[in-house]
């Protein structure tokens, strides 16, 4: 929870005005159904489960996303290996760079 709060603070400092979070695939998919997103930070692991279903929905919807992971990037599933990622732990500069790359695409 503390890490999430830190990330939310960093996003606020970067100018993000609406920050939502979900701990599970079902929660993330519900948020995607109910809100519009400019970009998404997606942890590769949501409560012990691969976030691949969320990545698929993001790709179908055309919503850019950055993977956030403490795992090996080799664990990114096929079809998404070209997606940008940020390795945990990360700092403000890494997050700013990753999000800046998404927004400029």
pLDDT in tens, 65-103: 999 988 777 778 888 888 888 988 888 999 999 888 887
| Closest of 16, 18, 20, 15 to residue 4, by C-alpha | 20
- The stretches of 1-105 forming alpha helices (DSSP H) are 2-13, 25-34, 52-61, 92-103
List domains and CATH numbers for the chain: 2-103 (3.40.50.2300)
User: What CA–CA distance (Å, rounded) separates 37 from 77?
Assistant: 22
| Model confidence, pTM | 0.88
Region label for 99, one of left (φ > 0), alpha (ψ between -120 and 50) or beta (otherwise): alpha
User: Which tens digits make up the pLDDT trace of 23-37?
Assistant: 999 999 999 999 999
């Amino acid at each position: 929870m503390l890490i999430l709060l830190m990330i939310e603070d960093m996003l606020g400092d970067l100018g993000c005005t609406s920050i939502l979070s979900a701990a599970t695939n079902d929660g993330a998919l519900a948020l995607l159904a109910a809100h519009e997103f400019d970009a998404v930070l997606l942890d590769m692991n949501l409560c012990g489960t691969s976030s691949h279903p969320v990545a698929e929905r993001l790709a179908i919807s055309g919503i850019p996303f950055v993977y956030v992971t403490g795992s090996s990037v080799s664990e990114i599933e096929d079809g998404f290996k070209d997606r940008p990622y940020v390795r945990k732990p990360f700092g403000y500069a890494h997050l700013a760079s990753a999000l800046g790359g998404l927004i400029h695409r």
